[in-house]
Every structure is written in structure tokens, then in C-alpha cells.
Amino acid sequence: MTLRRVVVTGLGALTPVGNTAQDFWAGLTKGVSGAARITRFDPEKFRTQFACEIKDYNPEAYFERKEARKMDPFTQYAMVVADEAIKDSQLDLDSIDLNRAGVIWGSGIGGLMTFQEEVKSYANNDNTPRFNPFFIPKMIADISAGYISIKYGFHGPNFVTVSACASATNALIDALNYIRLGHMDVAISGGSEAAVTEAGIGGFNAMKALSERNDSPETASRPFDKDREGFVLGEGAGALILEEYEHAKARGAKIYAEIIGGGMSADAHHITAPHPEGLGATNVMINALADAKISPEDVDYINVHGTSTPLGDISETLAIKKVFGEHAYNLNISSTKSMTGHLLGAAGAIEAVASILAIKNGIIPPTINHFTDDDNLDNKLNFTFNKAQERDVNVALSNTFGFGGHNTSIIFRKIQE
């Protein structure tokens, strides 16, 4: 069976370092840290008092007040980036077959703030069962895709993937496959997350997963640094317009890149810890390369999962060396989480945007906050520490791994007409 080609024709981003795809890219290439003391609630009682929040976000700049109140922030973020991506793609919705246009989205947690606030309200009202009628529709993760499809009238496949931090990349891989197998021609795909809440910070603190570097939040996310001690929680969303190549070409669309393959695997090891030898990470990259029908030597850049956790960074590095062998030393490797923090289920979406823009612009975004080499890592690898590097990028691979041992890799290539 001949698979159809799939390209990216629109981008949208709402992140801690920029509220549009263009501003996001500018923040990344300048090495801007999005981490600061939490403003959404008083974090004084928490062990971690900082996060990578979206800056200068006002829902009423995008929605009517009544409309915004019906949506959890994670859905608002999804709607904002979907709108940006649609406009960027210049899709004429009146001229495409909406029955062959779908929405495949990702979110690891969904409406955490809504859930938290409704339960607090219930507990503070003598346990009287009074709940907002929008409680369930605001909370459920799939509602993000539902809202997007309603706004644009997309009648094709519509669902949300939930695989923790791998969710958005799973969504992109599903959208890739639905298009190349002929089930649809256009997809809005990506992911959103809004977990910077008391429950989010408190829950991850209880797991000892977060950095507690409250005296220097802007340097707390430091992947591959000797003194890394946990990830920094982020929030936001990213969206891509995926299109069948001939469909995009026929309408004269600008094409950012082609998606040539995706891989999935499971660690089958532990609910939160990565496999110590990077078994699942190794397998997922091998699977992605096989699906893309390219060799390891074809890859120029890896946007790594790189969360700044002691174990995760080591296991991913081991996996890269196993898969790429000597070519690993020719790669640029970077973790944009050093700037954005970890957007959980939305991470794969904004990192896909970063990977695509690295191809388009010939620039590798840096891994910031590197101060001390870790002798447990191979420091001959090019982690693109502290400063962006110019490089012609033909092929970029993006890794996202999630609690539960879920692993995903997706591969983008400069368009070949």
C-alpha cells in the first residue's frame, strides 16, 4: 500500500516564552527562561513556589466573558492555538470537504483547575451537592477537540489522546496516520495543558518530581546539568495543521515541513521512573526511523524529552547513543524544556513546533542553564548548551515520554517537492 504524504501548513503556540508561534520561536532562540514565582495562587506553603506560567494572558482578548467561563483554561489554550494555526495555514473552510477534516488533540490531565475548584466549593458548602452544570463538560479532556470541531465545522475524526506527557505526540502520530491512510485530508492536531494549580504543584511535589530551587527559578530547569533535581511545571498549547501533500499543493499552501514517520513504545518498567537503560526510548526511536524509512545518519537534530530529572536525562542519553552510534556525535541535541518548563500533555505539540521551525530557519534552539558537566553523561555529545547554533536541518526528531512508560517519537523533514 502506498501511503499518502503529510505536510504541516500552519502553526500555533501559546507558551511561557511567547504567546504566538513567532514569539515562541523568538523566545527559544534568545534562550529566554519562562520560569518565575507563581502568580495564579499564593505558593508560599508549597515546597515548589514557581512554574513556567503563560505571561499576559487575558481570556477576554480571545473570548466573550460568558463563553470563557464555560471553558477550563486548557480548552481556552487549545482554542487560541487552533485559531492561530488555521489562520496561518490560510485554509479556506468554505472550499474544503469538512467531512474529511478532523481534530485529534492531546492532553495528559485535562481540566484540573475546574476539578479542583468544584471539589473545593463542594467541601466548603457543608458537603451540599451543588455543582456547576458545566463542571463535567469543562473538566473532561476530550472537550478540547469537541470545541475546536464545533467552531470550524470539522466533521471528520474527532478525539483526544491521553498518554501523560506523550499525549500530544500520540495525537500528531494518529493524525499523521489517519491522513496518510486516506481517512481524512486535513487535521488540526496538537495538545494543551493547564496544570499550574494547587493540585498540580502539590501533587507533583508529593512525588518529589519538581525542582525546589525557589531562590533561582529561572535556572531551575537545567537538563543534562550535574545539579538538575527535578522538572519545572509549565502550561500552554501548540497546534499544527496537517494536510495531505497534494491537497496542500493544489491550494498553493505554504509548507513548513513534511511529517515522515512516528514511533511508539512502552517501557513496561515502572509507573513513573524511566527504564534505567533507556529500553523504551531506544525502541521508540528505532520504530520512528523504520516508519520514516530513513537511517539514523539522516537525522540532524533531536529535540529531546530532557525534563531535567536525574534519571530521565541519563536514560534518554543512553538510548540516543544506542540508536545513533557514532553519528550521535554529529547530532545537535537540545531540550527546549530548559526554557518552557514541562507542559506535560502539551509538551509534544510545542516541541513539534520548535522542531519544525528549526528546520525552516536553520537554527537549533539551546539547552539553557548548563553550569556543570555531569560525569554520568557523555559530554562529547552536542547538547547545544546555553546558546542557539546555526545549522542546516534537513531532518528533526522529537521525543516525548510519559508516566506509565509511554514513549513517542515523531520525525519531520524539510519538504522535498
Q: pLDDT digits over 374-415, tens only? A: 999 999 999 999 999 999 999 999 999 999 999 999 999 999
Point out the catalytic residue in the list 86, 145, 165, 320: 165
Strands 50-51 and 36-37, by their bridges, are antiparallel
pLDDT, residue 416, reads 87
Model confidence pTM above 0.85: yes
pLDDT, residue 221, reads 98
Percent of residues, the chain, with pLDDT higher than 90: 96
Give the pLDDT band of residue 268 (cuts 50, 70, 90): very high
Give the sign of the dihedral formed by CA 147, CA 153, CA 158, CA 164: negative
Residue 50 in this model has a pLDDT that exceeds 80: yes
Higher model confidence: residue 109 or residue 417? 109
pLDDT, residue 1, reads 76
pLDDT, residue 130, reads 85
Rounded to an integer, the average pLDDT of 25-49 is: 98
Residue 417 in this model has a pLDDT that exceeds 80: no
Strands 332-334 and 301-303, by their bridges, are parallel
Per the CB < 8 A criterion, the answer to whether 262 and 172 are in contact is: yes
pLDDT, residue 128, reads 76
Domains of the chain (ranges, CATH numbers): 7-250 (3.40.47.10), 263-413 (3.40.47.10)
Residue 126 in this model has a pLDDT that exceeds 80: no
In order of 232, 236, 304, 335, the CA distances from 219 in angstroms are 10, 20, 19, 14
pLDDT, residue 304, reads 98
Residue 125 in this model has a pLDDT that exceeds 90: no
Rounded to an integer, the average pLDDT of 105-117 is: 97
Give the pLDDT band of residue 301 (cuts 50, 70, 90): very high
Per the CB < 8 A criterion, the answer to whether 213 and 227 are in contact is: no
Per the CB < 8 A criterion, the answer to whether 223 and 339 are in contact is: no
pLDDT, residue 258, reads 98
Higher model confidence: residue 127 or residue 289? 289
pLDDT, residue 123, reads 86
CA dist., res. 89 & res. 11, Å (int): 7
Residue 356 in this model has a pLDDT that exceeds 80: yes
pLDDT, residue 100, reads 98
Active site residue 52: no
pLDDT, residue 91, reads 97
In order of 324, 363, 371, 414, the CA distances from 300 in angstroms are 11, 11, 25, 11
Least confident span in 9-18, 81-90, 123-132, 195-204: 123-132
Rounded to an integer, the average pLDDT of 77-98 is: 98
Q: What is the mean pLDDT of the chain?
A: 97
